[in-house]
Amino acid sequence: MGESNHWRMKLNNYLQANGGNHILSWDISQSGPLHRPVWAAVAYIRGVEYGRSTGSSQDAVKEEAARQTLAALQHDRGMRG
């Protein structure tokens, strides 16, 4: 498993160090035929969408949504100085 597959862990570690991971929630859904599902993952921080992804793997879409969320949180933190 490469480093790029650890975004959920990195996001959880970041949240633990910056206020707790209780502010994170997920919306995971599946559509399409059972033999070819399409997964969607949306990550929310305090009810605000920070990351969204769709694809054929539930794990992969959660990882991508976590990556987007972490990048947005780090960007927001940098903007606050």
What CATH number did the domain enclosing 33 receive? Answer: 3.30.160.20
Strand order, beta sheet including 24-31: 24-31, 38-45, 48-55
Boundaries of domain holding 38: 22-74
Question: For the chain, what is the domain count?
Answer: 1
Instruction: Tell me whether residue 62 is in a domain.
Output: yes
State the pLDDT confidence band at 59, using cuts at 50, 70 and 90: very high
pLDDT, tens digit, 9 for 90 and up, residues 3-31: 456 999 999 999 999 988 899 999 999 99
Instruction: Tell me whether residue 69 is in a domain.
Output: yes
pLDDT, tens digit, 9 for 90 and up, residues 65-76: 999 999 999 998
User: Under the phi-then-psi rule, with left for phi > 0, alpha for psi from -120 to 50, and beta for the rest, what region is 48?
Assistant: beta
Diameter of the chain by CA atoms? 48
* Six-digit token string for 21: 């991971």
Instruction: Tell me whether residue 32 is in a domain.
Output: yes
Instruction: Tell me whether residue 1 is in a domain.
Output: no
pLDDT, tens digit, 9 for 90 and up, residues 25-53: 999 999 999 999 999 999 999 999 999 99
